[in-house]
Structure 1
Amino acid sequence: MPWKKSGAMEQRTEFGLRAMQTLNFRALCQQYGISAKTGYKWRERFWRKGLAGMEEESRRPKSHSKQLPEEEVCEIVRLKLAHLAWGPRKIRELYLRRHGEVASESTFKRVLERTSLTQKRRRRRAPEAGRLSSGREAAAVNEVWTVDFKGWWRNGDKRCEPLTVRDEYSRYLLEVRAVEDARSETVRKRFEQIFERHGLPAAIRSDNGSPFASRQGLLGLSRLSAWWVVLGIDLERGRPGHPQDNAGHERMHQDITRELEAVGECDQAALDVWRESFNYERAHEALGMRCPGEVYLASERKYEGTPEDLDYPKMCSRRVSPKGLISLEGQPLFLSTSLGGWSVGLKPIAEDLMEVWFGRLLLGQVNLATSNFFRADIRPKKLQMKQKKCNQ
């Protein structure tokens, strides 16, 4: 409207007063240089609101054609309340799966922000993380499984410390089990059932705690991890005190903390329901907004039970006693009690010098002249480099 920049309010007021009395409305509009449509608008506002109606109003639309109906907003809020730890992107994917048509991600963010059900994620720069292993990262399902115990919590007098096993590539939760204790025998029984259902992975990543590893044992081997080696499973470990080396698994534990521990759920039925939702309802950005259950497939390596012993075709072998000893030229040599009952391979590499192997793991070297055993995990870098090449 071509009102003069100076005194536009006065001109509109003058027009409003004259418009209420004029007999030739179009001529009045032409006198002020406005269209009849604009003139009718200002006359209507002057009649309804008086002088206040002559003020400029915001041009922001009061509504739009794509505005969400109230029932859709309620459904978004309901889904969020059922999954408080999920962000707008995952809530939108769940809505899409249930209802077919869905609004944009920005719309979901706006709805959840207005209802104070979401907040911007704080991000921090991750520190450099190294591993005391090959650093293998899963490029396919069943290439690497991760395992840990979720930190315990109580519900009344009941303690819950679930064992969690996860396929690293697909994020599929293979097990969330409230076991009675963390002893090697108990955890091994659970893994036998997992292997029967899903087959064998190429490698298992764990921390350095019991029962997955032994802080003082040879190469950190425990009875449980030695059994994994016998089954042909490679070992991957994070650095002591660095949970970020198994970051994906720890992130999943945070979800358990928020969604189960926070409400005091600790029975196996609640864990099973949560695992089902995690695998088949919760979409993951890293999977192209697919659920883990849509990606994971059972391993082609079938579990056929535990072999009686390890075979070393090109080496001589010795059976490790329950006390962790082998006999070499009539002399007892201590290796590790974790290897009790299994055979190790002995490979001559020089005069009076032999390598000691357990499966694909180089345990160290033994000097036959002095009957001294040099552990691979505390030997010079030359021996450690050879171990790394063998694992590749």
Structure 2
Amino acid sequence: MDQRIELIHAWSSGDYSKSELARSYGISRPTLDKWLQRYAEHGEAGLLEQSRRPLSSPQQTATALIERLIEEKLRHLDWGPKKLLVRLRKQDPELPWPAPSTAGEWLKRAGLVQSRRRPRSTPASVTPLRAGLQPNHVWCADFKGQFRTGDGRWCYPLTLTDQASRYLLCCRGLPRPGGGLSRPWFEWAFREYGLPEAIRTDNGSPFASVGVGGLSRLAVWWIHLGIHPERIAPGRPDQNGRHERMHRSLKAAVLKPPAPNLAQQQMAFERFRQEFNTIRPHEGLGMAVPAERYGPSPRPYPARLPAIEYPTGLQLRRVHSNGCIKWQGRSVFLSEALIDEWVALREVETDVWELRFGQYPLGRLGPGSSQVQRLSV
């Protein structure tokens, strides 16, 4: 303290520069400036040693907040960090509660967050989408978003259109979206209109699966019938834009509000289908109606399901009940959708084999590999 007072007096005399004083007292220029500023602001009291204790204790505050967050989480185990923070901010709005991402990290470190298992993605379509310029080249299928009818029951509208003519082949309200309930209505459409060359869908159930090639049981059935399953890219509903546009019209016409029950809703669907096909002009068809551009397919629905046939010279393997085939002494998983089906392998490079189900490419098997490599378009 005495040295600091002596330094101030020496500076006040005007006989010394700051550099000379700093060298004489063995301090840096910034330190000298600090003491001069403190003296100018507070006098000799400013030269006293000040406490090094921080004005705030972030760590202590964070620990208290973590404890409160964990206590609230234990009361509401099914709540996420956003809901927990909303409640805590209402209780103590003056506290510096963290962002939801930080709160989530705190809960994860405390073992109160169960990591979500990343769902397996459906493989991308292995063939490019067809143009569908003529009727029955491409049919488009989808489920219009589910809704509840007036009696509170769910309705999942299965829709099927012809890509070229926009003809609405089928619109059927189902209580569930599974393949078991969907297949009879595809069969009805095949009997009524014949078989298309391809059916375009999204990557959801029951049209696709996470197995090799993305095939579902419904798609396997289509391949038996000589129909090529094609899927739009994930997140690209525009690749099925004509079908999606029909869904907009369907929603505006018969879902505001929904019918009192599923039977009456189906009647509304049929009225819409008749109007859409035979009365409503379509700008994309030069103001013609879809019925003027559509005609049934020349390929009839067969009385018996055709078997998959392969040319000679290919290696054939039967898919076992666990969805696997045996290949070069290894078990290779394909898909449960292919159980009891025959698949073919063709060598395309040295010990590299192309795997197919009928004409549909599934992937490739490399040297010593027990996992099918996905194909890309």
| TM-score tier (shorter) | 0.5 to 0.7
Query: Secondary structure in 2 aligned to 1:189?
Result: helix
Q: CA deviation at 1:275?
A: 0.6
Find 2:182's aligned residue among 183, 187, 197.
187
CA distance in 2, matches of 1:308, 1:279: 32
Structure 1, unpaired ranges of 5+? 1-129, 378-383
With the length of structure 2 as denominator, give the TM-score of the two structures.
Answer: 0.62
Q: Which residue of 2 aligns with 1:55?
A: none
CA distance in 2, matches of 1:348, 1:264: 55
**CA RMSD, aligned part only?**
2.1
Structure 2, unpaired ranges of 5+? 1-123
Q: What code does the residue aligned with 2:132 have? A: A
Q: What code does the residue aligned with 2:333 have? A: F
Find 2:243's aligned residue among 236, 240, 249.
249
Q: What code does the residue aligned with 2:238 have? A: Q
Find 1:309's aligned residue among 304, 307, 321.
307
CA distance in 1, matches of 2:282, 2:167: 11
Identity among equivalent positions (%) equals 40
Q: 1:327 to 1:374 in 2, by over 3 A?
A: closer
Q: CA deviation at 1:235?
A: 2.3
Q: Which residue of 1 aligns with 2:282?
A: 284
Residue 129 of structure 2 corresponds to residue 135 of structure 1: yes
Q: CA deviation at 1:362?
A: 2.1
Q: CA deviation at 1:322?
A: 2.8
Q: What code does the residue aligned with 1:245 have? A: Q
Q: CA deviation at 1:155?
A: 2.5
Q: 1:334 to 1:306 in 2, by over 3 A?
A: farther
CA distance in 1, matches of 2:283, 2:225: 33
Q: Which residue of 1 aligns with 2:205?
A: 210
CA distance in 2, matches of 1:227, 1:203: 12
With the length of structure 1 as denominator, give the TM-score of the two structures.
Answer: 0.59
Contact 1:131–1:239 at 8 Å: present in 2 too? Answer: yes
Deviations 1:333-385 (A, max 9, x none): 21111211211012123443322111222222224x624333233xxxxxx4x
Q: What code does the residue aligned with 2:359 have? A: R
Residue 344 of structure 2 corresponds to residue 345 of structure 1: yes
Contact 1:141–1:168 at 8 Å: present in 2 too? Answer: yes
Query: Secondary structure in 1 aligned to 2:200?
Result: strand
Contact 1:182–1:211 at 8 Å: present in 2 too? Answer: yes
Q: What code does the residue aligned with 1:180 have? A: P
Q: Which residue of 1 aligns with 2:172?
A: 177
Q: What code does the residue aligned with 1:321 have? A: H
Q: What code does the residue aligned with 1:320 have? A: V
Q: Greater relative contact order: 1 or 2 (C-alpha under 8 angstroms, separation 6 or more)?
A: 2
CA distance in 2, matches of 1:309, 1:335: 19
Q: Which residue of 2 aligns with 1:375?
A: 373
Q: 1:341 to 1:180 in 2, by over 3 A?
A: farther
